Amino acid sequence: MTHPLLERLASGPVLADGAMGTMLYAGGASLDESFDALNLSQPELVLGVHRAYLDAGADLIEANTFGANRFKLEAFGLADRVREINRKGVRLAREAREIAGSSALVAGAVGPTGRTLAPFGTVAPEAARAAFREQIEALLEGGVDLLILETMGNLDESVEAVRAAREVCDLPIVASMTFAEDGRTIGGSSPVEVADRLRELGVAAIGANCSVGPQRLLPVIETIASRLCDLPGPVPVVSCMPNAGWPAQIAGRVIYPSSPEYFAEFAHRAVDAGARIIGGCCGTTPQHTAAMREALARQLPGDGGICREDEPDVATAEGKGRTRIVAVPEIDLVAGDEPTLLRQKLDRGEFVVSVEIDPPKGLNPTKALDGARLLQEAGVDLINVADSPMARVRMSALTLCYLIQHQVGVETILHLTTRDRSLMGLQSELLGAHAVGVRNIIALTGDPPSLGDYPDSSAVYDVDSIGLIRVLQRLNAGADSAGASIGRPAGFTIACAIDPTRADLELEAERLRAKLDAGAHLVMTQPIYDPATWRRFLEIYGVDRLPVPVLAGILPLQSSRHAEFLHNEVPGITLSDEARERMRRAGPDGRREGVKMAQELLLELQPLVQGVYLMPSFGRYEVAAEVLEVVASSPAGV
């Protein structure tokens, strides 16, 4: 007998609901409590979320049981209530369906254990499988129609969850992994490896959820769909449920930037990519679901499909190679009596140009070093190196700064966050940086680990960015934060960050005053796409020009899709309407138009700021070099 899920899939895409946690948090739930336990303590709140998604047109809703396994509940002292919480979660979803008079399917949501499996961790695979089996048995008792094993970062753990389900039922299984921005799972598996291994287990659907926003997840889905078509035997369908972009923390709340309209477009593209189960994850709401419902209703029943003759473009893995060692002039490792080159240039009134480089995700720094050499030839003054941006694991920023300064010969600006280091660790890191000649520091608080690849990793935050500036200023006075002498005064140049595109500019201005009072020497902004944005911030701040030098951030656009991705999915980046429209009109010439816009912006900002730092996307440092050609061609120079 055909299962209802399979019958519905045969007639067209199935629309799943969106984020449960986002809605529960918006409804007043505390981040300190188990959201799954709300099935028992606040059932009406959970019921209301289900009703909202059903009213928005969802064909499938997930029970509020994502973290209701023994390992996750143990942290809240609820390990002995697995059965009760899961049964109640399913019953609330079924009750909502009955109240709404809907025929939507109810899925049991099963998330990861939150523990690392042996041999790298301490949890045996058999123990993880037993925990999954215990939860799934309770979901079956509640009356689920199918199982969604989601947000699995480790392929081995996903396999254990599928095996546990197969030990106790024959319901359809949707096996969904979470992928990082490089297109691999947190455990390092490629989409092809995921498709190969999970298909062997006879699941009904294979896909991706959570992870990142739609634009980064769609290529993963295309690769999975293409691979499944190449394999013999029954072909599982593909599911896709991305986050609403990258989250940002605003006024103590986590905000996701992607709009419902953006998700409507995603629904069309997901079908074209081969997805048959489409929904949303963190940050999505019933409004996103309603927009996707309308978009799918307009799409022809025959559109999309998993097996098509056209093959998707698949990004290749990062190239391998040996680090190229190039002889450069010696740099004094213990210099510190004289100001840094950055400070000297700013003091002389020179216009400073810096370009941002992200550290590699692996062991090989060759691409970053080659990029630094290219930028050196283009005439940049400095390279600023990010510190595991978006809370994703990368090579140490300090290490890359050292390599760039001592193998390429360009001074660097180190991004240093307080996220991963205690107060003692921060000061140790700074003393080491000073010793190897890395003395330009931009003090940042850093993105919470919950937003990145390792959400279970612990953050430190002994101090925030303002506290770090105070630490740097104290070191410059010759003492650590406790007042103990460090031998002689340090020579750090201290930068701070601001976002002039934020909605609450009064708060941003207030924090900038605190940073300058703490001792910051210069300001570096988030990307600006309209000089009026900077003028508006100065007006709110109450001055025509800040009392310290400013380096304005410019991020060259690559295409209209890139522009929309940044605007809708990346926190801290807000494009002007004019910039988005210009990229739309540019069509296939988007890259050229993006360079032209960046050049125009560079020249327009020059009278307002003392420098610029470019942020080339996708490691395309040649784009930054092209933007800087305007410096040589400008009659007045920059």
pLDDT tens track for 444-458: 987 666 555 556 666
Contact 498, 469 (CB under 8 A): no
Residues 6+ apart with CB under 8 A from 44: none
Residue 552 has pLDDT above 80, yes or no: yes
Average pLDDT over residues 411-417: 96
Contact 527, 499 (CB under 8 A): no
Contact 340, 493 (CB under 8 A): yes
Average pLDDT over residues 220-239: 88
**Residue with more model confidence, 304 or 229:** 229
Residues 6+ apart with CB under 8 A from 495: 413, 440, 441, 442, 443, 520, 521, 522, 523, 524, 551
pLDDT tens track for 171-206: 999 999 999 888 999 888 999 999 999 999 999 999
Lowest-confidence range among 43-47, 119-123, 473-477? 119-123
Average pLDDT over residues 124-153: 95
- From CA 11, how far away is CA 18, in angstroms rounded? 22
- From CA 503, how far away is CA 540, in angstroms rounded? 12
- CB 197: neighbour CB atoms within 10 A? 17
User: Distance of alpha carbon 179 from its chain centroid, rounded?
Assistant: 11
Average pLDDT over residues 569-578: 85
- From CA 395, how far away is CA 530, in angstroms rounded? 33
Average pLDDT over residues 619-629: 88
Strands 493-498 and 522-527: parallel
- From CA 334, how far away is CA 302, in angstroms rounded? 68
User: How big, in percent rounded to 5, are the helix, strand and coil portions of the chain?
Assistant: 45, 15, 40
The residue extents of the domains of the chain are 4-298, 341-632
Structure confidence at residue 364 (pLDDT): 83
CATH for 341-632 is: 3.20.20.220
Structure confidence at residue 331 (pLDDT): 44
Token output for 168: 């106790």
DSSP 385-416: E-SSGGG---S-HHHHHHHIIIII--EEEEEE
Contact 82, 90 (CB under 8 A): no
Contact 368, 565 (CB under 8 A): no
Average pLDDT over residues 288-316: 64
Structure confidence at residue 333 (pLDDT): 44
| 145: exposed, middle or buried (Cβ count in 10 Å: 0-12, 13-18, 19+) | buried
pLDDT tier at 31 (50, 70, 90 boundaries)?
A: confident
- From CA 215, how far away is CA 4, in angstroms rounded? 30
- From CA 256, how far away is CA 139, in angstroms rounded? 30
Residue 281 has pLDDT above 70, yes or no: yes
Pick from 128, 139, 127: which is nearest to 85 by CA?
Answer: 139
Residue 511 has pLDDT above 70, yes or no: yes
Which one is the CATH code of 4-298: 3.40.50.720, 3.20.20.330, 3.40.190.10, 3.40.50.300?
A: 3.20.20.330
- CB 122: neighbour CB atoms within 10 A? 10
Residue 305 has pLDDT above 80, yes or no: no
Structure confidence at residue 446 (pLDDT): 79
pLDDT tier at 1 (50, 70, 90 boundaries)?
A: very low
Residue 288 has pLDDT above 90, yes or no: yes
DSSP code, position 24: H
pLDDT tens track for 313-339: 333 333 333 333 344 444 444 455 689
**Residue with more model confidence, 36 or 303:** 36
Q: Strand 14-15: give its sheet, edge to edge.
A: 14-15, 275-278, 237-242, 205-210, 173-177, 146-152, 105-110, 60-62
pLDDT tier at 121 (50, 70, 90 boundaries)?
A: confident
Residue 536 has pLDDT above 80, yes or no: yes
Average confidence score pLDDT of the chain: 88
Structure confidence at residue 329 (pLDDT): 45
DSSP 519-574: T--EEEEEE-S-HHHHHHHHHHHT-SS-SS-EEEEE-----HHHHHHHHHHSTT--
Q: Do domains 4-298 and 341-632 have the same CATH topology?
A: yes
Average pLDDT over residues 301-312: 46
What pTM, to 2 d.p., does this model score?
A: 0.74
- From CA 147, how far away is CA 201, in angstroms rounded? 14
Amino acid at 307: C
Lowest-confidence range among 89-93, 298-302, 380-384? 298-302
Q: In residues, how long is the chain?
A: 638
Token output for 282: 């963190």
First to last CA, the chain: 73
pLDDT tens track for 490-501: 999 999 999 999
Pick from 51, 57, 25: which is nearest to 38 by CA?
Answer: 25
- From CA 84, how far away is CA 71, in angstroms rounded? 15
Structure confidence at residue 450 (pLDDT): 56
**Residue with more model confidence, 255 or 77:** 77
Token output for 2: 């055909």
pLDDT tier at 419 (50, 70, 90 boundaries)?
A: confident
- From CA 22, how far away is CA 29, in angstroms rounded? 10
pLDDT tens track for 343-392: 999 999 999 999 999 898 778 888 889 899 999 999 999 999 998 776 57
Pick from 547, 631, 551, 556: which is nearest to 595 by CA?
Answer: 556
For the CA atoms of 619, 623, 629, 631, the dihedral, rounded to the nearest 10 degrees, stands at -60
Contact 138, 89 (CB under 8 A): no
pLDDT tier at 561 (50, 70, 90 boundaries)?
A: confident
Pick from 388, 521, 520, 383: which is nearest to 451 by CA?
Answer: 388
Residues 6+ apart with CB under 8 A from 501: 526, 527, 528, 533, 572, 573, 574
